[in-house]
Structure 1
């Protein structure tokens, strides 16, 4: 898909990066650098040498510490790839500094904090976007179009699975203090997919989270959800598994299945399998780079933030909310509802993270 033309007099969106996590170095910084209408102006790290090394690769300014970057006049927006438990603190600080924000998922570990941050962004006419990249890949719109056209009749159930192999022992996703665990890091994908296809009125019927004796966090889980029409959603996820990334929509007259659903590489050619009337049709789509598309969506959101539209239309499929803020909120609510359904005796997740949400030096910059 070609980049939209930019007005010759339009200034690029100037990006500062808060942290040198793996996802920033490996995926987001190269995408920012390649995007039309975006300029990387600063990279921050608690480690001065690390900031200098990463900044040198992109010809931008290194900054030691995160707070100083937020004071820079030549930074319009920040990308936050820090551990999940620190997103709320630094997202709020960035918004108060007048910066647009693209934050890694989940935006926060608590729905109340998510609501507060989205409200703050709206009050200040700033873009706040959660970096859920798969929703920007056109393969999912193609599936939703088939669904809206009645290709499989009336939808009866949705199932989604996302799991990755065992992570190294030192990975931050093993740390409860930094927001680790399978639900919030891996489960967010099938949960967001359920919101994407079934809409807002989803409620958990049952859930389970598995925490092995050797682990401080949950490493696997599953949830059964239901919408107001009786359509069920069965979600499974984990971070000690053979890799799987797929979903299926089962209707009264057929099924739609999609593999490589959540993290397809840029050169991957998606194939939608449509089963109906005893036959299976392969619908092949052109490759797409969901990282580049996400960056483009953020740039557009920043440009539109000064003139938000108070009317939030439904999408063409008539299911999930068209406004990303609505989807982000519903995702936050569902993640917490699944957590509570799986372990109702546990205290709220945020109670154990009060120290981590303080903007003081912390244990890890992140290796996402």
Structure 2
């Protein structure tokens, strides 16, 4: 996924001189996760440049750049650091098009690693996606594969609205073979040709069918896509797994069609439960698919606690909790 993101930035910058990459350590060092490696050398210090440690300043500068015709791609080093820039994102970027009656736009894509998987504790592992889905004017994208990461990032960069692009760092270097309580492993037999060279786009607002099935629908995104797929495979559950890919805009048509077919719905995400995006998904499914449901909608999420450092694996939805939810929903 790191290489795919780097390629998306490279392809986009080569096609459009107005695209600039900015953030802490993104230039000479190539980013803390190396997603911007080699870009400054290729495009120069005026298009790929380091910033002060000021997330508010990074976001504010990007808003101004977008209003003046550039397409900035600021990186926030960890999603946990994005909070100082919330006012600029909510009060300026998200509202600029409406406030100016379309005279100005904020075509910026804010990239940031999010979620757990590196024992980063409370300041390097949060999943704040629900905050941004609540803000009218922002789009929220979360890929789960290298192919999607590249295509979605190119689409986000070319979009005329501000996009929050969260990258699950647990799968930066390939998904694990099983669950959170097992060491990360490289993708086995991964075919690099699955990520095409050059420019391609995946439309925002289109979910991906990971598997098709008849017993229930599972809604997930990011790292959780791989977790639920592994659990269903080991339990022999015939699930239809939808990788949402973009939370806003949401592919509600795909969700409705799947739940109408299966009659059951399980939602899985690693963010905290209360007011998490799963609550919105549950409400939408209940409102739109009530007469198709054969069991209540279930959620498996992170806990409503401060982020645990040493107990990271216990915090994440894993095989035990997801397995229990599957048994419950299928027995009703």
The TM-score with structure 2 as length reference comes to 0.38
The TM-score with structure 1 as length reference comes to 0.35
Structure number with the higher helix fraction is: 2
Structure number with the higher strand fraction is: 1
Relative contact order, higher structure (CA 8 A, sep 6+): 1
